[in-house]
Amino acid sequence: MPLRIVANRPDPAIVGLPWSTPLEDWTDEYVVPLPRGLSRHIVRIVRLGARTYAIKETEEEIAFREYRMLRDLHRLGLPAVIAQGVVTGRVDADGHELPAALLTEHLRFSLPYRSLFSHGLTADNIPSLIDALVVLLVRLHLSEFYWGDVSLSNVLFRRDAGAFSAYLVDAETGELYPTLSDSMREYDLTVGCENVFAELLDLEASQAVEGEVAAFEIVEMIRERYAALWSELTREEQFNADEMWRIEQRIERLNDLGFDVDELDIVTDYDGDQIQIRPRVVELGHHARELQELTGMNVEDNQARRLLNDIASYTAHSDLGGEDRALVANRWLTNYYEPVVAMVPPELRGKLEEPEIYHEILVHRWYLSERAGFEIDIFDTARDYIFNILRDRPDEAVAPPADLS
């Protein structure tokens, strides 16, 4: 049976992988020691040159279906791992058929939820993970995507200025619909609550997390936060014609949540005395898009909010309030952000991504300044943070090959 590789971004090195060997038997020659989440499938993470892939063994039909679904989600701009290809026609040395393999691009600086607790998280951080999961689920539902297997295990988390962003990593049961019904949303929510409840109990039983997990309260939190966010993003609002300011107020509230309103349905009654508004298209990334326009940086939304606040602080302290905002942002980038992150030694750059390091330095400066009674210089803070904190952090990314560092 001939080996067949279907890939959207062909990498010739893929052909050289040991496809005639079951994935569970692949050696360290190919596999990199990155944490993997719990999965019903065999999954391995491999590096080929500068690129890193997650490879999952599954049935051929399922592999192609998930490959196409992940590509659709990527085209819609939704947070999911990027599908790279499917390999079929695998046989072992004895001619026995082996499962098909789905390749996805490894999401840099991401971790499965269980690994986060071995990287310093405690039970107090669980609500932040739940918030990220809820935001992901709401975004998927707004795009008419039915997940079918909502769980912490089917998500990868990236740090986001003290919070987290969640990315869908398993779309095997998912499906896009012309319109997603309320009953399907409710089913997704119910499955998610049941799965998360079981996952939290397992965390507690395995003593993998420090502190009280409070699984019942967390499950209630999922429902409450989903309902609140869904309502804010989609509910219809009515008011009198002399209250037009409420349109801007609604948009500002959505912006504070990190969402932009791309389309707003505004309807008036016959006399124009009553106004009815309803957001029709909302998209997460308000702060990230603003920062990208100013600096060209591409970061998570909470990170962008934090960096925008630092730019505003730099503007005030430098008395540059009358200057063009883009020029001020460029000065901040040149004089502060870039020199600070350049202080991180090459061997420590796999600990956290640069925007997260800068955020943690800002937090560290607040603690140092409070202790000293005056504001500590950002560069002195960076040196102290790198030596006393960052150096002891575990790596959260694949270290680059020696010739790329």
Tell how far CA 212 is from the center of its chain.
26
Give me the domains of the chain, ranges plus CATH numbers: 4-107 (3.30.200), 111-234 (1.10.510), 237-284 (no CATH), 287-404 (no CATH)
CA distance 3 to 35: 29
The DSSP element (H or E) to which 310 belongs, if any, is helix 301-317
Closest CA to 305 of 160, 156, 125, 165: 160
pTM over 0.85: yes
Position 381 scores a pLDDT of 96
pLDDT at 89: 93
Residue 115 and residue 156 in contact, taking contact as beta carbons nearer than 8 Å: no
Whole-number pLDDT of residue 36: 62
Q: How far is CA 301 from the centre of its chain?
A: 10
Which pLDDT belongs to residue 401? 44
Residue ranges for the chain with pLDDT beneath 50: 399-405
Q: Which residues pair with 54 in a beta bridge?
A: 45, 104
Confidence (pLDDT) at 1 = 62
Q: Where are the beta strands (DSSP E) in 59-120?
A: 83-88, 100-105, 110-111
Return the ∠ at Cα 75 (arms to 69 and 76), rounded to 5°.
90
Give pLDDT, residue 348. Answer: 93
CA distance 59 to 100: 6
